[in-house]
């Protein structure tokens, strides 16, 4: 089986099935699941931190054994580029959705403290209640874009991990797929719970949640293609993905998890996630 076909298969399992499994768990859990999802999001943030700190940045600094000052500077540039790209796209989405939702005002936290705000499903429900199908469609597209911003860089991580692989069972690629898959389960919960709370049927919510993982496949193919262009391109792809994931962790997952459950417990879940990530990466 060609490597790029195997990447699609592995990423489908990690992205679509992993997110779908989280959606299924979320559909079974009780509707008031803020504390549960808070812990799982913190755990996901810890897993992501392990990927960024102990794998992506390390590989970006020394791609294919060609490290040096030039790759350090390129890594720094890629980190900024990845971070600022996802930040800017999220800012555009927030500016075009929050102003339309009544409870979001100057006294409301800039970071989501509710599951509905996490994926902008509150914006979708707002237009659903209006009965305007055109507006509801646009709101649905915006919600999908918000989710895709998380999944594209995660897919890139899997794709670039397969760069130069001589076999479909390459360990680096499989490890990244497993770690990303673990992280996608709580994200799937965060997608399905607000959809069901908003009145959507459990089956439809789980299906939409699973499909929200599809951008991971696109990201994997992009990462694999860019990584194959040479050491400099590989360094840039790895650091870009790392920067994007740093924004997701520190700009969204961790603040949102703490706001959803104002406790010290999410911090412990982050530590557990980091340890699990370390074990998967190095064992």
Q: What is the pLDDT of residues 166-208, one digit of tens each?
A: 666 777 778 888 888 888 888 888 788 878 877 778 888 889 8
Written as one string, the DSSP assignment of 29-59 is: S-S--HHHHHHHHHHHHHHHHHHIIIIIHHH
Say whether pTM exceeds 0.85: no
* Spatial separation of the C-alpha atoms in residues 19 and 187, rounded to whole Å: 7
* Spatial separation of the C-alpha atoms in residues 247 and 36, rounded to whole Å: 22
195 contacts 121 by C-beta, under 8 angstroms = yes
Say what the pLDDT of residue 103 is: 67
CA angle 179, 182, 188 (to 5 degrees): 135
Structure-model confidence comparison of residues 243 and 108, the more confident one: 243
Per-residue pLDDT reduced to its tens digit, 231-274: 899 899 999 989 988 998 998 889 888 888 888 899 999 999 99
Say what the pLDDT of residue 115 is: 67
């Amino acid at each position: 089986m060609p490597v790029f076909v195997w990447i699609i298969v592995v990423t489908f399992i990690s992205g679509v099935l992993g997110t779908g499994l989280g959606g299924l768990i979320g559909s079974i859990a009780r509707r008031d699941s803020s504390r549960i999802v808070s812990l799982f999001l913190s755990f996901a943030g810890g897993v992501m931190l392990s990927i960024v700190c102990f794998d992506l940045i390390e590989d970006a600094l020394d791609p294919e054994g060609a490290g040096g000052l030039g790759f350090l500077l390129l890594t720094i540039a890629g980190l900024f580029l990845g971070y600022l790209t996802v930040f800017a796209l999220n800012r555009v989405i927030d500016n075009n959705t929050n102003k339309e939702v009544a409870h979001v005002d100057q006294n409301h936290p800039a970071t989501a403290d509710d599951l509905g705000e996490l994926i902008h499903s509150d914006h979708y429900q707002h237009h659903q209640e209006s009965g305007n199908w055109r507006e509801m469609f646009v709101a649905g597209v915006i919600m999908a874009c918000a989710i895709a911003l998380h999944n594209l860089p995660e897919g890139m991580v899997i794709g670039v991990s397969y760069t130069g692989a001589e076999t479909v069972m390459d360990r680096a690629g499989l490890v990244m797929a497993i770690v990303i898959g673990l992280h996608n389960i709580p994200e799937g919960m965060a997608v399905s719970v607000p959809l069901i709370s908003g009145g959507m049927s459990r089956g439809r919510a789980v299906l939409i949640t699973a499909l929200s993982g599809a951008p991971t496949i696109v990201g994997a193919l992009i990462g694999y293609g860019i990584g194959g262009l040479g050491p400099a391109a590989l360094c840039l792809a790895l650091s870009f993905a790392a920067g994007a994931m740093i924004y997701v962790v520190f700009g969204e997952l961790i603040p949102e998890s703490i706001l959803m459950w104002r406790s010290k417990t999410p911090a412990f879940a982050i530590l557990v996630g980091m340890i699990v990530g370390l074990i998967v990466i190095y064992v």
